[in-house]
Structure 1
Amino acid sequence: MQIHLVIPGLIWPTPHATAPSGSLALPGLERLLGLGERTALAERSSDAALARLFGLHSDALPYAALRRLGEQDGAEQHAGHDWLCADPVHLQFAREHLLLTELDDSEIDQQDADALLAALNDSFADIGRFEAPAPRRWYLKLATPTEAALFPLTDVVGRPIAHFLPEGRDARLWQRTMNEVQIVLHNHALNQAREDRGLRSLNSLWFWGPGRLPERATAPCPTVLAADPLSVGLARLAGLTPQPPRTAAGLAGDTLVVLDALQRPALQLDLDSWREALAGLERDWFAPLAALPGGKLHRLRITAPGDRAGFELDVRAGQRWKFWRKPQALDALLKQIVPPPQRPEAPPGAMHTEHGHP
């Protein structure tokens, strides 16, 4: 049996936290980290790392079309169209920077999303049609394909958007569209009411992931366990019917498991929620896998993409006999692989300006 875990967010994104996992007891993870052979991960984007596992290699993959296919109403009718992710966000000033933050699940419901989308569709029918199969995941079915280079939302959260504005042939079109969308949203009565109640407004959209579905993908394992729509879309494109991650199902045969519970807390630098999710992964996955006999688990791979660094861990059955290999603490590993910041600490809320983009 071979099991491959993909765990975005396992690498805490800021090097300034000296011990992000703190006093958590992680004996299962530490044993696996000590036994395995570790290599650097080429992709820092979790989306790109996932796509590579399904045989898709490109600098401009159609993440919107793939993610759209993975929504609950995803079906073949979404093929043959060019899509954009048009995710709702909140923009705010911090010192001299205009920063982007995501909205929490509790801040927007489907009714709000539908009301705002109706206004957008009235105003922007010439560029396509907006859809919201989930309150925080919006899409634009494009009337005309775009050649703009657009940055993924995960690259931009908590950072000055000036570093991530559209580039390429259609850059001006999408910069203008973003500005016009912000005007429509700002003037909408729903946002005015939100501000009156002290809630954050949904005052912008972030466009990214343009393109249409590839013809096919190749699944790395016969079973895929995942809940996030991008992974589900990739599995469906490969002809599989993915199921939510469950330990019993994951230990039943050759399986790819996408565990995304750490990703959002890591993006939001919510250390308490990150630790809570990490404790859950230790209980449900790392400890059971570390306890499996080598004769049953022939190979375990862990792919951990991270914004500043990433790694892949390969644990083979024969390595379990290497008793001299000591467990490795996650915090010690993070100190080894996460590079120090290249310039002074960014303003509050913009801790990631050393991302590498000009």
Structure 2
Amino acid sequence: MHTLIPFAAPAGPQCQEALTRLELPYLAELLELLTPTPPLLGAEDSLSPLFERVHAKSLGLQGADGLLPWAALDARQLGLTRTHGDNGWAWITPCHWQINSDHVAMDHPEALALDAHEIDALRHAMQPYFAEDGITLHALNHHTWLAQGELLRDLPTASLARACGPRVDQWMPRAPQARSLRRLQNEMQMLLYRHPVNDARAAQRRLTVNSFWISGTGALPQGALEKSDTMSVQHSLEATALRDDAHAWTQAWQTLDATLLSTLLRQAKAGQAFELTLCGERMAASFVLQNTAWWNRIQRRFTTPTPAELLATL
């Protein structure tokens, strides 16, 4: 099994400062037993975060930046590509935008906690507008829909993990074919302003839905094969990292260290093979368990970086 830990060293200034004081004893001991493999490099301004590229690589999923076809993969697993074709797919996520004088901010859409009735009512209201651009919305879960349309085949979009935060504006799709989507977002803001779902939520002093985010765009390559997911992606650091909440992020890391990493340490001591990847914005550092000579293991105790030193390079 390959374990991936995204947001191990987030770029937010508060989390970066907290990183220097981070104590992860199980990870420290684990690193002394593992052998590093060649890292994968990333960039903070890429549409597809590095952790998504690492996960996609494990699945054999290919695509340019902003065109890793996650939604198409969901559609195939649900059997939708057999009945609706393999053309462009996307995730459409209802969200709440906070409009400020000089920027637009967005919390993670899951914080809306939409129920089944709300998500279905919103989809049925929005579907006719999307249909004008040849896009069909399909139910997926309580916070995201699957969208199908040729417009989505070659449209690069930023991951939801990029858009959450104080600067939604910089991650808006810029390709020429995105003009109709920007129009759709304007139409949805007007439609949703007085929608019954939002009226009820406002009466309960809950966040309303006033826009949507599009991500996971693209199409599966012709002849793409089914491949089982042998990677376990740990998302427990994500929400606090996106908020740059250093205290909560540190607590989440320490919980992960005391649970998952302590389990991996026991597996390593028992000689059970696995792979561990710690992912930041600039680099994904991977480690495997290998049989090494006893003197190499002793030497590694004196040369292995501390968790804080390692994470600072990510």
Does 1:48 pair with 2:53? yes
Post-superposition, which runs of at least 4 consecutive aligned residues in structure 1 deviate over 6 A?
A: none
How big is each residue's C-alpha offset from its partner over 1:222-250, in whole Å with a ceiling of 9 and x where there is no partner? xxxxxxxxxxxxxxx31x3x6xxxxxxxx
Does 1:37 pair with 2:36? yes
What is the CA RMSD across the aligned residues, in angstroms?
3.0
Does 1:131 pair with 2:138? yes
What does residue 180 of structure 1 align with? 187
What does residue 45 of structure 2 align with? none
| Contact 2:50/2:283 (<8 A) preserved | no
What does residue 279 of structure 1 align with? 254
| Contact 1:105/1:136 (<8 A) preserved | no
Please report how far the alpha carbon of residue 294 of structure 1 lies from its aligned counterpart in structure 2 after TM superposition: 5.8
Gaps of 5+ in 2: 43-48
What does residue 233 of structure 2 align with? 258
How big is each residue's C-alpha offset from its partner over 1:194-234, in whole Å with a ceiling of 9 and x where there is no partner? 2233221111101122223335657xxxxxxxxxxxxxxxx
Q: Give the 3 Å change call, closer, same or farther, for CA 15–301 of structure 1 in structure 2.
A: farther
Q: Report the secondary structure of 2:96's partner residue.
A: strand
Would you say how many aligned residue pairs link Structure 1 and Structure 2?
299
What does residue 106 of structure 2 align with? 100
Q: Report the secondary structure of 1:28's partner residue.
A: helix
| Contact 2:7/2:241 (<8 A) preserved | yes
For 1:296 and 1:217, the matched residues in 2 are separated by: 35
Q: Give the 3 Å change call, closer, same or farther, for CA 217–33 of structure 1 in structure 2.
A: farther
For 1:5 and 1:122, the matched residues in 2 are separated by: 42
Please report how far the alpha carbon of residue 29 of structure 1 lies from its aligned counterpart in structure 2 after TM superposition: 0.9
Please report how far the alpha carbon of residue 85 of structure 1 lies from its aligned counterpart in structure 2 after TM superposition: 0.9
Q: Report the secondary structure of 2:280's partner residue.
A: coil
Scaled by the length of structure 1, what TM-score is found? 0.72
Identical amino acids, percent of aligned pairs: 25
For 1:308 and 1:188, the matched residues in 2 are separated by: 42
How big is each residue's C-alpha offset from its partner over 1:131-175, in whole Å with a ceiling of 9 and x where there is no partner? 332111222122655533222211111042221222223021222
For 1:259 and 1:205, the matched residues in 2 are separated by: 25
Segment drifting more, 174-183 vs 264-273 = 264-273
For 1:148 and 1:289, the matched residues in 2 are separated by: 39
Q: Which one-letter code corresponds to 1:117 in the other structure?
A: R
How big is each residue's C-alpha offset from its partner over 1:36-74, in whole Å with a ceiling of 9 and x where there is no partner? 32654224432221111222332122122124445xx56
What does residue 97 of structure 2 align with? 91
Aligned with residue 61 of structure 1, among 68, 91, 105: 68
What does residue 267 of structure 2 align with? 292
Please report how far the alpha carbon of residue 304 of structure 1 lies from its aligned counterpart in structure 2 after TM superposition: 2.5
Greater helix share, 1 or 2? 2
| Contact 1:89/1:103 (<8 A) preserved | yes
For 2:293 and 2:3, the matched residues in 1 are separated by: 18
What does residue 116 of structure 1 align with? 122
Segment drifting more, 105-114 vs 312-321 = 312-321
Q: Give the 3 Å change call, closer, same or farther, for CA 54–116 of structure 1 in structure 2.
A: same
